[in-house]
Amino acid sequence: MKHLIVSSILVVFLLTPPLALTNISDSHPLDGSVGTQSIHVNAFRGMVNIRDNNVLSEWDGILDYKNALLVAKLYGKMACVLAKMDQAAFPTLDDIRKALDHQDLKHYPPTHGLTYTVLPSRVKNLAQYGMVIKDLCREVPTYFAQQQKEGAALAIDPDSCFEVQLLSFMGLSICGEVPGL
């Protein structure tokens, strides 16, 4: 019995530091806006949850690195947008975790902004993308979006775009002529 108790205590002490690193959260003011951005990194699940409560462009988002999905719930448009995430263009999960851990966002250079065009087809079965995404987009229409090749974004009407910012890493433009956008 003593060996069982001692081994249990050792397991707790040995696993606590690695498990503590799997979930990191931070909330910080956004540059040039009225609001804050809260970011929660769950390295075990390969997800980053973002809550941006900027008065002018409130949105929630999920970066699902395991399934290479990006989803954004745009409150001003009352719609969700789901897209394949080009992981080469996004900061890595580890970069985001390190930036939040060290609070030194200036160390990571901003990437180029990406433009996504909303397609007219609605997502019919959100459950296939996981419960987290299904819960985020509950009660609002969800549309697929496609990343535009660099240079192709010039043909898009800028008035149809919703701009989102992920820390100082990158900006995303979600554009389209769909009901609600």
Spans of all domains in the chain: 23-175
Are 30 and 54 in contact, with CB atoms under 8 Å apart? Answer: yes
Q: What is the pLDDT of residue 92?
A: 85
Q: How confident is the model over 143-175, as pLDDT tens digits?
A: 999 998 766 545 666 677 888 777 666 778 888
DSSP secondary structure string, 103-172?
T-GGGSPPPPPEEEEEEEEEPS-GGGG-HHHHHHTTTS-EEEEEEPPTTGGGGS-GGGEEEEEETTTEEE
pLDDT tens for 62-117 read 999 999 999 999 998 899 999 999 888 888 888 887 777 765 555 444 555 788 89
Mean pLDDT of 134-147: 94
**Average pLDDT estimate for 56-63:** 89
Q: What is the pTM of this model?
A: 0.76
> What's the pLDDT score for residue 141?
94
